[in-house]
Amino acid sequence: MTNDRGLKLIQSVEQADSSQKLLDAVQSLAAARLEEGIPTLIAALSYNNPGAAVAAVDGLVQLGEVAVPKLLTLLDDYNYSGRAWAIRALAGIGDPRALETLREAAETDFAMSVRRSAAKGLGNLRWSALPAQDVSAAQAQALKTLRLTAQDPEWVVRYAGVVGLQGLTTSVAESQTDIRPTVSEHFEQMLKTESDLAVRARVQLALDQLHKD
Amino acid sequence: MRESSFGNFESLSPEQSPEGSESLTVEQAIANLQGQDQGLRYYAAWWLGRFRVRESAAIDALIATLEDETDRTPEGGYPLRRNSARALGKLGDRKAVPALIRCLNCSDFYVRDAAAESLGMLGDPVCIPELMKLLEGGLEAAQPIPGCPHLAQPYNATIEALGSLGATAAIDLIQPFLDHPIERVQYAAARGMYQLTKNPIYANKLIQALGGQKLQLRRAALGDLGAIGYLPAAEAIAETLAENSLKLISLKGLLEYQVKNNSTESSSISEAAIQVMTLMDNLL
């Protein structure tokens, strides 16, 4: 990959004058996995073109950790729908540097689609990327937020909270923390109080899988 | 560049209570509904439905407004009746059924539409003959009217209500609507026919619709498939080009249908339900 080609890919995103051209250009740039394309992919999250945004999120998730600092710093500068997509990208990448951003989104964002993505992302963080001495405090923070999320007024956010809690439990299996009994107990409690049938089914599945592990 | 034609689904389903709703109490809402201020009455009717206020006093007050003559649009519509009819469907009290049946003859199309939908939700089969009357005249009477934003009758809501009420007597009336010129009406007919016959041929029409060109129509098919809980549609739902929020709601319908219809003594989850949840997890 030459810089020249990278520049061309970036330019074709910036110059796209139809939604189809934009989609194609973002897809090509995403597929090229260029570090210098990161700001352009992030900008594409705010074009109010869902196809292009999905392609940009995929591209950013593929790029992984290298995209995280820019996603975190640019997050506030972008419009609302762009922010929602950026949260989705951070959730997909799973870099624990996004912990605070994901927690804030899961707890306070007004859009349920953002809260649900953030909740799932909190169960998807790669803890090994953190210094060993910080892991249990960070996991406790994620757990705290996910327990709140599991009481969200919207069923889909509670559902995502259950998925996040299950993910968190699985991802910490080999670490020093003892989250599993806490989460199991939380799920048992949810089975008693949760009124939504789909969420209850997801809690039951999470419990079945936790017991199987 | 911007693509403004994309309708944001989130904006269709209010995530937040509108301003002022937090401060309204049940007593106040009921009082507002019986007061003189048309704006407050209209809002109170919506509010009682939105917050599922099932108190008898609220139901009675809402039923009374179905006869309201004071709140009129320039075209002769009845805004308050529309809101009250919608709210009564959400509140689940069959006491409202006779008054809603009378609304099926209201001169305002949107009142008839709301009443048909709510009667489907309340689940009392006593309204079936009156709903069937709205389909009389078949396709010929149901052709689009030039210059009019709606059809002669609320065919979608009526067919969907008859489907969910299990009105097998209406099958012959509904079937011709599979050939209606408007796709949304075809889907309603396919959905109703599937509910009444359980013949997969009708549900498969809805799966086909997920591959169509128009986003609005794919959204409609997602809603219909969720409503009938048609399990073989799960993969197609997950893959259609539409918002994840809508796919999740559709798959939720499939999941709940599975859970309800496979309830065994054991609390374990069926394989089919696990498959649906795996698809849902990936859309979060």
Counting beta carbons within 10 angstroms of the beta carbon of residue B179, is it exposed (0 to 12), middle (13 to 18) or buried (19 or more)?
A: exposed
**Nearest by CB: A198 against B241, B243, B256:** B256
For residue A95, the SS3 value is coil
Q: pLDDT (tens digit, 9 = 90+) per residue, B134-172?
A: 999 999 999 999 999 999 999 999 999 999 999 999 999
Collect all residues of chain B within an 8 Å Cβ-Cβ radius of residue A200: 259
Supply A47's token pair: 């074009």
Last residue of a domain, one of A68, A93, A118: A93
* Average of per-residue pLDDT across A63-84: 82
pLDDT confidence of residue B10: 34
Q: Does A84 share its domain with A104?
A: no
CA-to-CA distance for B228 and B216, rounded, in angstroms?
19
Could you tell me which residue, A60 or A74, shows the higher pLDDT? A60
Collect all residues of chain A within an 8 Å Cβ-Cβ radius of residue B277: 201-202, 205
Q: In CATH, what number is assigned to the domain containing residue A161?
A: 1.25.40
pLDDT confidence of residue A175: 56
pLDDT confidence of residue B266: 57
Q: Does A126 share its domain with A21?
A: no
Supply the mean pLDDT for chain A: 89
CB contact under 8 A, A113 and B4: no
CA of B264: how far to CAs of A186, B202, B267, B269, in Å?
A: 24, 29, 7, 9
**Nearest by CB: B273 against A110, A116, A201:** A201
pTM over 0.95: no
Min Cα separation A135/chain B (Å): 25
Collect all residues of chain B within an 8 Å Cβ-Cβ radius of residue A204: 267-269
Q: Residue A4: pLDDT band by 50, 70, 90 thresholds?
A: confident
Could you tell me which residue, A8 or B118, shows the higher pLDDT? B118
| Residue in chain A lying closest to B244 (CA) | A113
* Sequence spans of domains, chain B: 201-262+269-283
Let me know the angle formed at the C-alpha of B202 by B198 and B205, rounded to the nearest 5 degrees: 150
pLDDT confidence of residue B262: 77
Overall residue count recorded for chain B in this entry: 284
Q: Does A13 share its domain with A116?
A: no
Residues from A in contact with B at Cβ < 8 Å: 16-19, 22, 47-51, 81, 110-113, 116-117, 119-120, 154-156, 159-160, 163, 197-198, 200-202, 204-205, 208
Collect all residues of chain A within an 8 Å Cβ-Cβ radius of residue B7: none
Q: Does A53 share its domain with A115?
A: no
CA-to-CA distance for A157 and B262, rounded, in angstroms?
25
pLDDT confidence of residue B7: 32
Q: pLDDT (tens digit, 9 = 90+) per residue, A102-159?
A: 999 999 998 898 999 999 999 999 988 888 888 889 999 999 999 999 899 999 999 9
Which one of A24, A58, A80, A156 makes the best mutation probe of the B interface by having the most chain B beta carbons within 10 Å?
A156
Last residue of a domain, one of A93, A113, A135: A93
For residue B270, the SS3 value is coil
Q: pLDDT (tens digit, 9 = 90+) per residue, B170-184?
A: 999 999 999 999 999
Residue A74 · residue A38 · CB < 8 Å: no
Q: Residue A2: pLDDT band by 50, 70, 90 thresholds?
A: low
Q: Does A58 share its domain with A124?
A: no
pLDDT confidence of residue A76: 63
Q: In CATH, what number is assigned to the domain containing residue A24?
A: 1.25.10
| Residue in chain B lying closest to A205 (CA) | B269
Q: Does A115 share its domain with A200?
A: yes
Collect all residues of chain B within an 8 Å Cβ-Cβ radius of residue A112: 10, 15, 245
CA-to-CA distance for A90 and A144, rounded, in angstroms?
19
CB contact under 8 A, A110 and B16: yes
For residue B130, the SS3 value is helix
CB contact under 8 A, A159 and B284: yes
Of B31, B30, B106, B109, whose CA–CA distance to B68 is shortest?
B106
Q: Does A46 share its domain with A58?
A: yes
pLDDT confidence of residue B6: 32
CB contact under 8 A, A49 and B3: yes
DSSP at B68:
-
Q: Does A77 share its domain with A113?
A: no
Count the helices and strands in chain A (H runs, E runs): 12, 0
Q: Does A115 share its domain with A211?
A: yes
pLDDT confidence of residue B278: 97
Q: Does A140 share its domain with A178?
A: yes
Q: Which residues contact B213 (CB under 8 A, 6 or more apart)?
A: none
CB contact under 8 A, B6 and A159: no
Min Cα separation A66/chain B (Å): 23
**Nearest by CB: B255 against A47, A117, A201:** A201
CB contact under 8 A, B15 and A112: yes
CB contact under 8 A, A201 and B277: yes
Q: Does A118 share its domain with A169?
A: yes
Collect all residues of chain B within an 8 Å Cβ-Cβ radius of residue A154: 15
Q: Does A74 share its domain with A99?
A: no
Of A82, A89, A97, whose CA–CA distance to A120 is shortest?
A89
CA-to-CA distance for A34 and B30, rounded, in angstroms?
61
Q: Tell me what ipTM this predicted complex has.
A: 0.88
| Residue in chain A lying closest to B278 (CA) | A202
Last residue of a domain, one of A54, A77, A93: A93
Burial B1-19 (b: 16+ CB within 10 A, else e): eeeeeeeebbeeeeeeeee
pLDDT confidence of residue B12: 35
CB contact under 8 A, B6 and A48: yes
**Nearest by CB: A197 against B15, B259, B268:** B259
Collect all residues of chain A within an 8 Å Cβ-Cβ radius of residue B255: 197-198, 201
CB contact under 8 A, A120 and B281: yes
- For the CA atoms of B92, B273, A205, B266, the dihedral, rounded to the nearest 10 degrees, stands at 80
Residues of chain B with pLDDT under 50: 1-21
Q: Which residues contact B75 (CB under 8 A, 6 or more apart)?
A: none
Q: Which domain holds residue A56?
A: 1-93
